[in-house]
Structure 1
Amino acid sequence: MDFAPTPVRRVEVEAHDPAALQGWPFDLPAVAQLVREGLDLAPGVTFLVGENGSGKSTLVEGIAQAYGLSPEGGSTGSRHSTRVSESPLGMALVLRRGLAASRWGFFLRAETMHGWYSYLEENPRDGEPSFHEMSHGESFLAVLESRFDSKGFFCLDEPEAALSFSSTLGLIAVLQRVVATGGQVLCATHSPVLAAMPSARILEVGEWGLREAAWADLELVQHWRRFLDAPERYLRHL
């Protein structure tokens, strides 16, 4: 038995009728690789980096759902739902956990946070800020301060969408604090700033499936470097 404190050591697909693992999202190379090989998660932070449609958000959503989190975001126990749109991946996954690990978690999903804020208003708790009265970025920062304070499992889907450059640096500091207290993070991102977090494991997601990559070798980083060096090289082709 594994008594390691890591909330999620490994992600695998349960035995299923092969016919149930056909079509989307199982035809995405990254998901197909997970079905074949499983996925070991780093005890600290794992970033999934890739283009739109590569499957990184689908993986984060499915793993969050398998952990017991609402696919629309929130903490363990939140069960709000506005419109069912999640893929069947989460139902096919099984997570291998450390027996002494925390069972608490949180899923921060940029595109569904408005609905989660409404859920909180309908189910208030003492001292809870009014997220709807804040700007998009301010509300995200407030969530980070109020929810990212335990040794649980934190799933994030493109959290940089609401954050400025300096606030993204602040998010890195929050994730460092989470890891220092024994938490674990899985994050899909387009941000070269966020992906530069020291000691994080980076998986690049694309037509090849999943591959481990160094920050400097990411296609994302190389594109941003070339664009900032000479934006006209890109803009003239629009």
Structure 2
Amino acid sequence: MEPLPYLKTIELKRDLIDSFEVYPFSIPAVKELDFIEFDKAVTIFVGENGSGKSTLLEAIAVSLGFNAEGGTKNFNFGTRSTHSDLHSYLRLSKSFKRYRDGFFLRAESFYNVATNIDELDEDPAPAPFIKDSYGGKSLHQQSHGESFLALMLKRFGGNGLYLLDEPEAALSPTRQLAVLSRMHQLIKNQSQFIIATHSPILMAYPGAKIYQIDKTGIYPVKYEDTEHYGVTKAFLNNPGPMLRELFS
């Protein structure tokens, strides 16, 4: 039996939007958005660069109370205000069941999260170091990929809602497989994941609900029907013809 999703649905308050010709309402992920259901333990947004999947994930995270640059709900730093006001136009439906842990991972701003942790740990007040929850070592003293794994393996504790924006950015294929394994452990411990990704490895999580985002809107798609799967499979099965076409 799958764990009950903490976030059940989101709905765009279309009647409050003055124009769908201005950002962020002009991007494909929003322009055709009406209602999205999160009825699986893992929901994945896929789409080309610029389709708006990260903007949508960010808006969901901010609506839930997470910092726009990432981290837990306790992080309130801001290096630059670049997030859209899309979160103000989302209506969220949540389960009666409350999650005890949560994190919003943004690959592009995780450096800022790591910096904030180091800054907070410099406070002389007698308290446990925040970095102890991430393996006891500054995230800046690890490679980008190692720090991502430390987050997954050490910080994520289960009974959680985890939003991940392109977590594969710093991970080798082997490490992406390790993330899949850790996701499975956390899901068995009543966790829910919402992920924006280009990785056909992460998309392969069994039973995941995949939403394709393109110029026509947002719609469910089978794993084998994603462009990411098709292109990767075609290339790895026979790279020669594709390379010759690209280089001709």
TM-score when scaled to structure 2? 0.87
Which of 49, 66, 69 is equivalent to 2:66? 69
Corresponding position of 1:18 = 17
Corresponding position of 1:237 = 246
Corresponding position of 1:6 = 5
Where does structure 1 differ by over 6 angstroms across 4 or more consecutive aligned residues?
A: none
Q: Residue 123 of structure 1: SS of its match in structure 2?
A: helix
CA offset digits 1:156-175 (Å, max 9, x no partner):
00000110111000111111
Cα RMSD (Å) of the superposition? 1.9
Whole-Å separation in 2 of the counterparts to 1:46 and 1:54: 17
Pair 1:51–1:233, CA change in 2 (3 A): farther
1:134-213 → structure 2 map (5 Å cutoff): 134-213=142-221
Unaligned runs of 5+ in 2: 122-127
Whole-Å separation in 1 of the counterparts to 2:94 and 2:207: 22
Whole-Å separation in 1 of the counterparts to 2:70 and 2:37: 23
Whole-Å separation in 2 of the counterparts to 1:84 and 1:225: 39
Does the CA-based 8 Å contact 2:101-2:156 persist in structure 1?
no
Q: Residue 210 of structure 1: SS of its match in structure 2?
A: strand
Name the larger-Rg structure. 2
Amino acid corresponding to residue 168 of structure 2 in structure 1: E
Pair 1:221–1:44, CA change in 2 (3 A): same
Unaligned runs of 5+ in 1: none
Corresponding position of 1:89 = 86
Amino acid corresponding to residue 85 of structure 2 in structure 1: P
CA offset digits 1:106-145 (Å, max 9, x no partner):
0011100111001001112432421101111111111111
Does the CA-based 8 Å contact 1:5-1:101 persist in structure 2?
no
CA offset digits 1:10-30 (Å, max 9, x no partner):
112347533166511211222
C-alpha deviation, 1:199, in angstroms = 1.3
Q: Residue 63 of structure 2: SS of its match in structure 1?
A: helix
C-alpha deviation, 1:99, in angstroms = 2.4
Does the CA-based 8 Å contact 2:40-2:207 persist in structure 1?
no
TM-score when scaled to structure 1? 0.91
Whole-Å separation in 2 of the counterparts to 1:196 and 1:10: 22
How many residues of Structure 1 are paired with residues of Structure 2 in the alignment?
233
Q: Residue 132 of structure 1: SS of its match in structure 2?
A: helix
Pair 1:208–1:62, CA change in 2 (3 A): same
Establish whether residue 107 from structure 1 lines up as the match of residue 104 from structure 2. Answer: yes
Does the CA-based 8 Å contact 2:8-2:38 persist in structure 1?
yes
Range that drifts further, 166-175 or 146-155: 146-155
CA offset digits 1:181-223 (Å, max 9, x no partner):
1111100000001101111111111112111111111111111
Does the CA-based 8 Å contact 2:70-2:104 persist in structure 1?
yes
Whole-Å separation in 2 of the counterparts to 1:67 and 1:20: 25
Corresponding position of 2:224 = 216
Q: Residue 9 of structure 1: SS of its match in structure 2?
A: strand
Does the CA-based 8 Å contact 1:46-1:186 persist in structure 2?
yes
How high is the sequence identity, in percent, across the aligned residues?
A: 36
Q: Residue 227 of structure 1: SS of its match in structure 2?
A: helix
